[in-house]
Structure formats: C-alpha cells, structure tokens
Structure 1
Amino acid sequence: MKNAAITITLQALATFTILATALPILHSQEWYVRVFDYPRLQIFALAILCFILYIWLAPRNRKRDKFLLVALLVSIVYQAVNIFPYTFVAPKEVKDADANSPSDTHLSLLVSNVLMDNTEHDKLITLTQKYEPDILLLLESDLVWQQALAPITKSYPYRVEIPLKNTYGMHLYSKLPLRQQKVSYLLDKDIPSIKTFVQLRNGTWVELHAVHPKPPVPTEDATSEKRDAEIVLIARDIANSKYPVVVAGDFNDVAWSRTTELFQEVSGLLDPRLGRGFYNTFNADYPILRWPLDHVFHSTHFKLESIERLPDIASDHFPIFIRLSFSPKNKYDQEEPEADSQTQEEASELIEEGREEAADDKREGKSQ
C-alpha cells in the first residue's frame, strides 16, 4: 500500500509538471493557461525532482510509466532551453560598456513597484539616496507615496505624476530634462502609460516609455488579451522611432514569455539580462516563487554599465537599478531582434484581440 501511494503521488506530480510545461505552448490567452508562463524555473526543478524520484521509487515497466518518464525528460529539456539564455553561461545580448566611457553618456534608472499599501517609505528613500538614479520610476504609487517621497523627489525637477488609488498609479522623476510628456490610456481608462523624451548630459534625446499593464489573473483580467495588446502596441510605436529608446516598468509578464519575445522582435529592443542572470523581482515575499516581472529594455544605441536587483523595500517586488552607456558608434556590435512577416501578423492579431476585449469591457461597463 505504501509503494502504491508513492507511485500514485509521483504519477500525479509528473502529470502536473508535464501539463504545466505543455499548456503555455498553446495560443490560449486564458489566465489559467498563461499563469504557467511564469514559474519556468520552478517547473524545471520539479520536473528534475519527479524524474529522479520516479526512477528511484516507482515502477518503470508499464507503458504509462515509460510515457511519463519520456514526457518528463522532454519537459526538462524544453524548460532548460527557455531558461538557458538568462544564465551567465549564455551569450550576452547587450555588450558591456567600455570602462572609460564618458560620464555624460550615462543614463541610470531605478524602477520600483512600491506596493501601494506599503507604509515603509524610508526604505525606498534610502535606496534612492544611495544610488542617485537619473530616472526614478515608481509603479503602483498613490498620493500617499507621492507626498512621502517629497524629501528626495525635490531633487528631481522634471516629473510626471499620476497618483491613483487603483494600484496602477505611476510617478516618473528625472534629474535630466524631459520634453513632450504624454500620458496614454491605451486600452483601459484607468491604466496609464508614459511616453516622453529625456536629454542625456551630452545633449542626446532618448525616447522613454514607462508601462504597467494589468496581469492575467481572475481579480484583474480573466485573459491576457489586453496586457499582450498593450505591450505590442508600445512595441509598434517604438519600431517607428528615430531616437534611441528605453522602456521600463512592470510588464506583469516574464522575460521568457512569447509576448515579451514578440515585444522585442517588433520593437527591436535588447534585454540586458540575457547572458547575465534572471534578476527575479517578484515575489519578494516567497523565495521559491520568484520570476522576472520588472523590465528595462533598450535600443542597440546603449551598452550596459551595470544592472542590479536591489534589497527588499517591504513591497512584493524588489526594485531594479540599471546604468546604461550611450554608444551609438558601436551599436552594430549588438544584434537587433527582427520581426518577420509572420511575427508582424501575430502582433496585429494580438492588438486586434486586445482592442475587441477592451471594447467589450467598455460596453459591459456602460450597461451596468
């Protein structure tokens, strides 16, 4: 009976692991499918554990046992292929900046989803004072956060402040000049994004986007349609830019998802984590359940000085700090992602689906 219970338990775990690997391959945008995009590291570890325990403890002579073992092995390989680019042994997508790069070419950003109800404001204040970023981007910030950080944000003369009570507030503070600050509500009337231009110390203007779409969870959106569409809409806008570009924010999507991959291909932006590490920013409260939700992407005009996940600030997200170096003469040292016709068609479909979902939500809202 004991052996039978062990076998049944292992079969159940193995089946779950295989399904958790297979479901994200589907094109479905339902939340219960897309949720398995996130824990690839955890599924990879569980698949290895199940495989080892199955060989050690469970019978392997039946067809279903052999099938489960083969499927587990396929799951391990598939997850490893997705995870590998973010390990330090993989090639770096963004080259390291020259050690002697001029300081007037540098651009530093501190990005933090602060958790709106978090009252430990001093922790972020201390980090900001320590790192002194050129750009401070706050997500999930409200009027309380705006007032609490006033002692440090007074040294940031350029700003876009959007205090909201719905956990989608956004505050952008800059020590460098800004122009053409534009706040957009692309698909939701209460979900803002920011587009502006920031001037580097050497006079170069850089296009800057700040984003925070809704996640596909039952309490927010039952599908990922609007999130995916917002991400791709921003990518389309960037693709036509004649400026160097930086995009930062909480995408509510992991770095290795198809949507984020599509974002890179359509926009042509680079991910500085590739070849350096995961930099898991969420969930700060649960060490074994963490993945990279907060991102900074940039055009080939930049190389990387440094990137760092910062200490806990009592939010469910860790802040992330990045320092870039503007290196336009060497931009061709880095390979820009490209979108073929099929990718562009996929992007157009996602945008259309997101707009239809937004229109449906608007109609339902009016009828209530």
Structure 2
Amino acid sequence: MPDFDASFFLQAGRWIVGALGVAAVVATLLPLLKQEAWWIRVFDFPRLQIIGVTLLSAGAAVALQLHASTWGLGLLGALGLTAGYQLFRVVPYTPLVRKQAADATRPGPDGHLSLAVMNVLQFNKQGGLALSVIQACDPDVIMAVETDQWWLDQLKPLEKTHPYTCHEPLENTYGLLFFSRLPLREPRIEYLLDDDIPSIHAHVQLPGTDTWVRLYGLHPKPPAPAESKTSTKRDAELLLVGKAIEEKDEPSIVFGDMNDVAWSHTSELFRRVSGLLDPRVGRGMLPTFHADYRLLRWPLDHVFISPDFKVANIERLPYVGSDHFPICIKVSYEPHAKAEQEQNAEQADAEDHEEAVEKIEKGFAEEEQQEAHESRTTAEAVVKLSH
C-alpha cells in the first residue's frame, strides 16, 4: 500500500478546492453568453448554490494557504468577483432592497384578489393532501399544473366553492386545471407556440367592483434534456404574453410554473417589456422547487402583477407531495397608485423590444422545424410499415 505523507493530502486538497472554485467561476460565466442551449441556461437557476460553493472554496483556499501562490491569489480574486456578481443578482429578491410592488393600503375584501399556483407533479398520488392545502388557503383563483384526468377527479370538490372553471387535463405532464370563485369572462385554452403546451387566458371580475382583470396562466417546457434542448420556446412563450400585455392598458396578472427563475435574463426582459412587477422583489425568494431537497431550491413558480396592484400577502404553501411547493398571493387593486408604481417597474428600451421580437420569431421557427421533423419521421415510419 502506498505511503502517503501529509504533503500529498495537502496538495490533493488544494487541487480539489481549485477545481471547485473554477467550476463555480465557469458556472457563473456561462449564462452571460445568452445562448439558449439547455446546458448553459441551467446555470441561471442555482445562483444561491453557486454562492455557497464559492464561499466554501474561498474559505478552504485560505485555510490551505493557496494565497501563497500566484495562481492561488488569482483564484481567490476570481472567487471574490464571482460571489459579488451572484449576490448582485439575487439580493433584489431579499428584504434588503425596496419592494417593487408596494404593500396594500386598501381595506378588503372589495378590490382584493387572491390566487394560488400549484404544480402537483402528475405522478404524485397524494391528491387528498393537495386538496386540503389549497382549501386551507382558500384563494379566489386556483391554477393546478401537471394535471391529468386523475387529478381533475381529485380536485373536483373545489368546484363546489369555485364554480367558474376552465380545464385542459392532459397525459403529457402539461395539463392545466383552473378554478375561480369569481365570475370569468371569455375563459379559454390557447396553445401559443407548442402544440402540446396549453395556457389559460381569461378575465376575472374583482369582488365588489365592476373591474375585470386579465389573467394569463402559463406552464412552458423547461430547458432540460428530456424536455427541450433549448430555452427558445419557453422564452418565446413568456415574451409573447409580455408583448400582448404591453399592447393592452388593463389590469393584468401572469402566473404559473414558468420553469425559469426570477433573476434570469429572460424573466427580466419579460418584466421590462410587459411593465409588470415582481412581488418577490424586496420581500424574499420564496423558493418553490425542489420541495424534497432543502439545499437545492430556487423560485420557479411566479406571479407577476401590473402596477394597478399592491400586495396584501404572498406566501409559500405547505408540502403537497409534489416536487414543487404551491405559492399563494393576495393583491389589492389600487389604480390611484399606478403612476407611482410604474416608476418602480423595470423599463424597456429599443434594444429590449428588438430582442423580444427576435426571441419570439426564433421560437416559432424552432416549432416549425420540430413539426417538419416529426412529419418526416412519421412518413418514414409509415413507409417502413408498408414494406
């Protein structure tokens, strides 16, 4: 058996720490490329985890005296810049900054609207648990995603209290269920881009008022090997809705499992183009995924609101057996504060609008290419079977 002395383990430790540090730096640099490949976009998500690895690597580097060498000093400098940049990206989603959407001042219940988003995980069979959590929250509007016919049967008791519905249960993990206690106008299912990814579009009447609010419920595909090899269509779907909101001057709310984090370039571009506010800014991250792994969590489920609204409450709901936690928000319609809150919104410039249009066009082009490929594959299969 080899005789390893202390210097061997010291050197091995330094190489391990160096490798971890370099990995954290690379994971920070890759998303700056703004490429849409899934293996690049995936590094938008774990910013908190990258900060943790960066700080641990820096602490270990000092303990192992890497700063005694030139490359070690360079590594520590890179780790410092990495940690600073990552903190810069996530600090807005903490109470350390000013709230983008102000706290509600209007007394309820008139003019107040509560919504919940719940990704149930289609293969999760704890329907009773999910139902009880949502019933305890008792929001005005409920959207459940990853829902098939089994989940519709499990959540059907909600129709007793929420009789206005718009459902599209599917077996492909992209089904949607929509329940409302309040009257709906023109509720419909639309396939904006992908022919197997539905979205919900409706107007809901605010209680005690004549005001109707436009709602968009979304659940695009994530950039992942088993789902979509790029973020192109996810980004395009979100930006399609953002452009539609920009063109309509009416109270609007976009909510759902966006399969994107609030601090990604696309989410920020969406907010600038649409003019919507993120209630998490200045309040907290409220990470909703992954429910089973405390150290691997980030916010994937979102609610974005127009400046007509202020926030009465936002919370993450208890575990429902899914890999996501539900999220619930109550907003207050306060149009007198719209002009003031518009000053808090992120502003789009000409370059932003041009980029949004380009991303939407790329999304449609990618969908056309995939449909053409599927048609060729089907035709080839038919030919083979006929021989």
Tell me the TM-score normalized by structure 1: 0.98
What's 2:285 paired with?
Answer: 278
Distance of 1:131 and 1:217 partners within structure 2:
32
Which residue does the alignment assign to 1:340?
349
Kept in 1, the 8 Å contact 2:130–2:321? The answer is: no
Q: Which residue of 2 aligns with 1:303?
A: 310
Indicate yes or no: 2:227 matched with 1:204: no
Tell me what 2:248 maps to: 241
Quote how far apart the aligned CAs of 1:67 are: 1.6
* Equivalent position of 1:362 in the other structure: 371
* Alpha-carbon distance, 1:63 to partner: 2.7
DSSP-derived class of the 2:67 partner: coil
- Match of 2:12, SS state, is helix
Match of 2:53 in 1: 46
Mapped to 2, the partners of 1:332 and 1:284 lie a distance apart of 38
1:228 counterpart = 2:231? no
Task: Verify the 8 A CA contact 1:6 1:58 in the aligned structure 2.
Answer: no
Q: Are 2:159 and 1:150 equivalent residues in the alignment?
A: no
Structure 1 or 2, whichever has the larger Rg, is: 2
TM superposition shift of 1:147: 0.7
2:161 is aligned with 1:164:
no
What does 1:121-136 correspond to in 2, within 5 Å? 121-136=127-142
Q: Provide the rounded CA distance (Å) in 1 between the counterparts of 2:297 and 2:134.
A: 24
The question of 1:137 aligning with 2:137 is answered no
Q: Measure the CA separation in 2 of the matches of 1:8 and 1:210.
A: 48
Unaligned residue ranges in structure 1 (runs of 5+): none
Q: Pick one of 96, 105, 128 that aligns with 2:103.
A: 96
Query: Counterpart of 2:166 in 1: which secondary structure?
Result: strand
Contact 2:245 2:274 in 1 (8 A): yes
2 CA distance for matches of 1:358 and 1:342? 24
CA distance in 1, matches of 2:371, 2:166: 27
**1:185: Cα distance to partner?**
1.0
AA matched with 1:183: I
Q: How does 1:17-96 map to 2 (within 5 A)?
A: 17-96=24-103
Structure 2 residue 188 is matched with structure 1 residue 179: no
Using the TM superposition, name which of 276-285 and 346-355 deviates more: 346-355
Mapped to 1, the partners of 2:359 and 2:158 lie a distance apart of 40
Report the more deviating stretch, 172-181 or 100-109: 100-109
The 10-residue stretch of structure 1 (353-362 or 56-65) with the greater mean CA deviation from structure 2: 56-65
**Superposed CA offset, 1:132-175 (max 9, x none):** 11001101011101111112222211111000000000011101
> What amino acid maps onto 1:258 in structure 2?
H
**C-alpha distance in 1, partners of 2:116/2:234?**
23
Q: Offset of 1:58 from its aligned partner?
A: 3.7
- The alignment covers a number of residue pairs equal to 367
Residue 356 of structure 1: CA displacement?
1.2
Task: Give yes or no for contact 1:194–1:210 (8 Å, CA) kept in 2.
Answer: yes
Candidates 107, 110, 119, aligned match of 2:113: 107
Alpha-carbon shift at residue 336 of structure 1 (Å) = 2.6
Correspondence for 1:116: 122
Q: How does 1:284-299 map to 2 (within 5 A)?
A: 284-299=291-306
Structure 2's unaligned 5+ residue stretches are 1-7, 378-387
Identity of aligned residues (%): 45
Deviation readout 1:98-138 (Å, 9 max, x if unpaired): 1x523110000111000111111111211222121100110
Task: Return the alpha-carbon distance in structure 1 between the equivalents of residues 65 and 235 of structure 2.
Answer: 42
**Are the counterparts in 2 of residues 10 and 58 from structure 1 also a CA contact under 8 Å?**
no
The 10-residue stretch of structure 1 (186-195 or 262-271) with the greater mean CA deviation from structure 2: 186-195
Say which of 6, 12, 15 aligns to 1:5. Answer: 12
Cα RMSD of the aligned pairs, angstroms, is 1.0
